[in-house]
């Protein structure tokens, strides 16, 4: 197998592994609050929103040390161990206990930081200036396929149900745990490159799956990776991209946890309300896959760079927010177990609700594929620290959003996303223009990025 084919193979395996793990985790996230609402009449007294807030809070803090962990342990083993912790978190729902639920939330937060730092490392070292756009799109499309499969099962399994029984819950979460473990095992298929080095070394610092080194060298790499993370955090490009990244954290929380809960809480949707949560996730996945696939395939022929894609993303999201504001009751995110009978500015429409799910997914793919692409392009020599900072900002904003989702009405959640999204788009444009100018100064073709 040629080096180029081996790198593409690694990207596909990476995408498939994440697809299986996040088929389980994102489906779990979509239905967690609905399942927990049905459990709160028992001895279990957890909150899905609070759990996600803990996960993303710990996730954000752990990103400060994740490059050091990847430098010491290596990217492949880092992803395998992280995958095991994802599976354990999902398994908690088979027989829920409040202490186990919140403890697992802490551990998966740490695992997520390590997993995504290793993923950014793997994506970057298996790409170059000419393939980073394509590979980002391919990975994103495979990753977001996860929204389709798990939610398809939820749609059919929960159709016509207004209450989720213990048997229904156990069947779903046993299946999701097994699926997550399959994705974890797939990480072992990622192939090694020759003469590779772990993150934190100066040249070719991010080559994946390098040879083992002495404990002293690994400690040196860990310290170097941590120092690079701190140093990169205060660069102009990272500070500007942090606003864009903050927006992706807010909208991630909304489409992956809040919006499905809103749909399930609308009593006017009748007995289909709970199964519509699954259908919503499916159409979010369709939007993600479409965006990732199209923008990945078009990256080579796009002579205008990344800005038009991001502009499309913010316009699509603003349309979705407008329709949701008109279609969804204001108290839907915080409605009790009985749901809400309130009406917004129109009679709640299932078709509009599901169309908005598609728009949320499409817009999210616009932002994330372009952020992955520009980070891989700007920081090809420092990918682990750069992706750790990206995930640090994204996760801390997701944690904040999950926290306020317990209290804020829908209109305020939408307003926050509109304001941050507007400024995040502008800051992305600035970084992209500067990247294009730097590329032109080197005499490279702008379409190659």
Total Cβ atoms within 10 A of residue 335: 19
Predicted confidence (pLDDT) at residue 143 exceeds the cutoff of 50: yes
Q: How far is CA 239 from the centre of its chain?
A: 20
Ordered by where they begin, the domains of the chain are 1-191 (1.20.1250.20), 234-442 (1.20.1250.20)
Q: What is the pLDDT of residues 377-390, one digit of tens each?
A: 787 777 777 877 88
pLDDT value at residue 317:
96
Cα–Cα distance, 47 to 102 (Å, whole number)? 9
Identify the bridge partners of residue 266 per DSSP, sorted by sequence position: 340
Query: CA-to-CA distance for 284 and 362, rounded, in angstroms?
Result: 7
**The model scores a pTM over 0.85:** no
Give CA–CA dist 432/115, Å, rounded.
27
How many CB atoms are located within 10 Å of the residue 156 CB? 10
3-state helix, strand, coil in the chain (%, to 5): 80, 0, 20
Tell me the per-residue pLDDT of 324-340, one tens digit each, with 9 for 90 and over.
Answer: 999 988 888 887 767 77
**pLDDT for residue 190:** 87
- Which region holds residue 194: left if phi is over 0, alpha if psi is between -120 and 50, else beta? beta
Inter-residue contact 311 to 425 (CB < 8 Å): yes
- Rounded percentage of the chain residues whose pLDDT exceeds 70: 83
The CA radius of gyration of the chain, in Å to the nearest whole number, is 21
Left (φ > 0), alpha (ψ -120 to 50) or beta: where does 15 sit?
alpha
Strands of 95-196, DSSP E: none
Q: What's the sign of the alpha-carbon dihedral 436, 304, 316, 372?
A: negative
For residue range 412-448, what is the model confidence (pLDDT) as tens digits?
A: 999 999 999 999 999 999 988 887 777 666 555 444 4
| 152/100: higher pLDDT | 100
- Kindly give, in sequence order, each residue whose CB lies less than 8 Å from that of residue 59, ignoring residues fewer than 6 positions away: 109, 110, 112, 113, 391, 395, 396, 398, 399
The DSSP string of 343-384 is --SS---HHHHHHHHHHHHHHHHHHHHHHHHHHHHHTTTSHH
Asked if residue 245 has pLDDT above 80, the reply is yes
């Amino acid at each position: 197998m040629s080096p180029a084919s081996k790198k593409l193979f690694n990207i596909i395996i990476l995408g498939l592994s994440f697809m299986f793990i996040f088929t389980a985790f994102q489906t779990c996230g979509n239905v967690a609050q609905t399942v927990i609402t049905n459990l709160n009449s028992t001895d279990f007294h957890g909150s899905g929103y609070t759990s996600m807030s803990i996960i993303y809070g710990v996730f954000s803090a752990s990103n400060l040390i994740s490059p050091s962990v990847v430098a010491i342990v290596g990217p492949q083993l880092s992803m395998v161990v992280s995958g095991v912790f994802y599976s354990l978190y999902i398994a908690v729902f088979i027989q829920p206990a409040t202490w186990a639920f919140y403890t697992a939330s802490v551990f998966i937060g740490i695992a997520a930081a390590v997993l995504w730092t290793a993923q950014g490392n793997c994506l970057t070292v298996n790409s170059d200036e000419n393939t980073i756009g394509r590979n980002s799109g391919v990975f994103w499309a495979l990753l977001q396929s996860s929204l389709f499969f798990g939610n398809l099962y939820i749609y059919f399994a929960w159709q016509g149900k207004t209450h989720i029984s213990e048997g229904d819950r156990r069947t779903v979460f046993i299946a999701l745990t097994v699926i997550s473990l399959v994705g974890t095992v797939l990480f072992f298929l990622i192939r090694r490159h020759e003469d590779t080095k772990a993150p934190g070394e100066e040249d070719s610092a991010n080559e994946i799956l390098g040879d083992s080194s002495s404990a002293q060298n690994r400690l040196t790499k860990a310290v170097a990776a941590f120092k690079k993370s701190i140093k990169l955090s205060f660069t102009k490009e990272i500070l500007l991209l942090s606003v864009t990244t903050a927006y992706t954290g807010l909208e991630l929380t909304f489409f992956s946890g809040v919006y499905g809960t809103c749909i399930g809480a609308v009593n006017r949707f009748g007995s289909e309300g709970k199964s519509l949560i699954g259908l919503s996730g499916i159409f979010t996945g369709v939007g993600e896959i479409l965006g990732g696939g199209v923008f990945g395939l078009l990256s080579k022929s796009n002579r205008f760079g990344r800005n038009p894609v991001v502009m499309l993303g913010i316009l699509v999201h603003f349309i979705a927010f407008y329709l949701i504001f008109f279609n969804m009751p204001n108290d839907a995110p915080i409605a009790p177990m009985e749901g809400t009978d309130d009406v917004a500015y129109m009679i709640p429409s299932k078709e509009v609700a599901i169309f908005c799910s598609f728009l949320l997914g499409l817009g999210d793919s616009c932002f994330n594929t372009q952020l992955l692409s520009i980070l891989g392009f700007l920081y090809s020599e420092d990918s682990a620290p750069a992706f750790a900072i990206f995930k640090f900002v994204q996760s801390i904003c997701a944690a904040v959003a999950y926290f306020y989702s317990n209290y804020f009405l829908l209109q305020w959640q939408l307003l926050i996303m509109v304001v941050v999204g507007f400024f995040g788009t502008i800051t992305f444009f600035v970084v992209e223009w500067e990247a294009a100018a730097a590329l032109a100064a080197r005499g490279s073709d702008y379409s190659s990025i």
